Structures are given as C-alpha cells and as structure tokens.
Amino acid sequence: MTHVETRHAIHPEHAKGMDTASLRRHFLAEDLFADGEIRLVYTHYDRFTLGGAVPKGQPLTLDKIEETKTPNFLHRREMGIVNIGGPGRVEAAGQSWDMAQGDVLYLGMGSGPVTFSGQGRFYITSAPAHRELPCRLVTVDEAAEVKLGAVETSNKRTIRQFIHPLVMESCQLVLGYTTLEDGSVWNTMPAHIHDRRMEAYLYWGMEPEARVLHLMGDPQETRHLFVANEQAVVSPTWSIHSGAGIGGYTFIWAMAGDNVDFTDMDFLQPEDLR
C-alpha cells in the first residue's frame, strides 16, 4: 500500500502568521513509518519527496504514483534511501542490495520500480534528475566523516556524508546524517540558510519520550516545532534549521536545489536571530 500526501510551498510572509497547528501541518511529517505501508510526502519545494517504507516481513514496491504523471516514480528522478531499522533489502534496476542499519543506497534516474523487504525501516528521499547515474550502496564505513563543534558549546557532533561530491556523484540530491555526542544537544549551530536549496531533516535514534526543539522560520521571525523520533521537518530555502534535543539523537539531512556544494550556506550567529 502506498499513500502520498502533497505539501505546497509556503511564502515566508504567510508563515509569520501561522499558529502551532498550521506550522505542524505544513512543515512537519509526523507519521512516515507504518507497518506494511509506503508513505510519501510530495513537496513543491524543488519537487523534493520524502517518506518511509516498512515492509515488516512482506515486500513493498514503489512503482507509479499519480503525483509525478510518469511511467514510474524514478522515471525522471533519483533517490536516496537510509535504513534506520533492522537488516533489509532493496531491489531496483535488476539489482539487489542488502542494507544494514545506517547504510545509504543511491538509485539513479530510470531505475524503475523499487521493492523493499526484510526488517528494515527505510527512509526515502527523492528529487528530480536530469541524467542517469549508477546506483550505489554506501555503507557507514564508506561515508566521509567531518567532526565539528565542541563540548563547551554543547554541539560536538559527527557529520557523515553519503550522497555527496566527496563520496559519489548525483544530479542534485545531497544526503548524510549527523550524530550528537554524549552531553551535546545543539545541531547545526550556528544556524544557516541556503537560498539555492531546500532541506529536510529526519530525527532518528531518540527515546519515545524525548523531543527535539526544532527552530525554523525567517531569521528575524523564528518559529519552533517540538519533534519526536522518526518525524521529519521540511525546510524551505528561506528558513533556518537548527535545534536542541533531549538525550542522544541523529538527524538525517537531505537537500535538493541548484547545486551540490555542501558548503553553500549563509551562516547566522545567535546574536543575528530573533
């Protein structure tokens, strides 16, 4: 079973007047992972799509969806898949890949139907593509690692880059994840925006009762969302994306837009925020 929800783009002036319920409805994806289902959120931010697939022992196939009006979902798209669950398998383009927890699979444009199986919980990200590129499984050990932050500023963290120019080639999708070290709570601080790309965060590895206070909005008109485990936030190009969590957590970041330059961002110091 495949369920698709569409999210339209929101102007920053509109976002300033939203109450909590409206902010959550437009920017937070709360129920991406359901046993025996594929759930997708098709956004009008660079036509980026995110979602979850939970086979729970029965294979699930993502093929054609009405929203793209194409023979199948990957006919003119690329995809990045992160397994956040147990051992799983993905089949596409006449190939199959066994995925452990934390592994990332890139599927190039034209890969055809995608089948998920096993005990995996698969986080799906996708963006339009302009040419075919090879499919590739990138394991945790093969990711590029960057250490940032410090204990003194409560943001000591490890960034793992998977679908990234330092590791492999893609059309416009860039993906990786960041893990906070014990005692650190702040992710992506100082905050930033990047006008040339949208971004989405999936928070993962949290205790059921834990929450991340996710900051969003115009830098001079910030808003916030309280986010639980396995929930995702869609960040428009004009919005900051930063947060602080209770206990340990990881967030999967994925971007789509004009370029794949990971460093193309405009930083905002805490004193610049309102």
What is the model's pLDDT at position 117? 98
Output the CA–CA distances (angstroms, integers) from residue 42 to 19, 84, 86, 127, 131, in the order listed: 23, 21, 26, 10, 21
With residue 162 as reference, give the H or E element that holds it.
strand 157-163
Q: What is the pLDDT of residue 57?
A: 86
74-101 confidence digits (pLDDT tens): 999 999 999 999 999 999 999 999 999 9
Give the structural domain span for 80: 2-272
Dist CA 184 CA 96 (whole Å):
38
pLDDT at 224: 97
Q: What is the pLDDT tens value at each position of the chain, 274 positions in all? A: 899 999 999 999 999 999 999 999 999 999 999 999 999 999 999 999 999 999 998 999 999 999 999 999 999 999 999 999 999 999 999 999 999 999 999 999 999 999 999 999 999 999 999 999 999 999 999 999 999 889 988 999 999 999 999 999 999 999 999 999 988 999 888 888 888 999 999 999 999 999 999 999 999 999 999 999 999 999 999 999 999 999 889 999 999 998 888 888 888 888 988 9
The whole model's pTM is what? 0.96
Amino acid 261: pLDDT = 82
Residue 16 neighbours by CB under 8 Å, 6+ apart: 217, 218, 221
The tally of domains found in the chain comes to 1
Q: In whole angstroms, give the CA distance from residue 169 to residue 269.
A: 32
Per DSSP, what are the bridge partners of residue 220?
Answer: none
Q: Which residue reads 């910030």 in tokens?
A: 222
Looking at residue 268, its pLDDT comes to 86
Residue 255 structure tokens = 């971007």
The CATH number assigned to the domain holding 245 equals 2.60.120.10
Q: What is the pLDDT, as a whole number, of residue 190?
A: 84
Q: State phi, psi for 159 to the nearest 5 degrees.
A: -100, 125
DSSP state, 160?
A: E
CA angle at residue 265 from 204 to 19, to 5 degrees? Answer: 60
* Structural tokens at position 204: 């993962």
CA terminus-to-terminus distance, the chain: 43
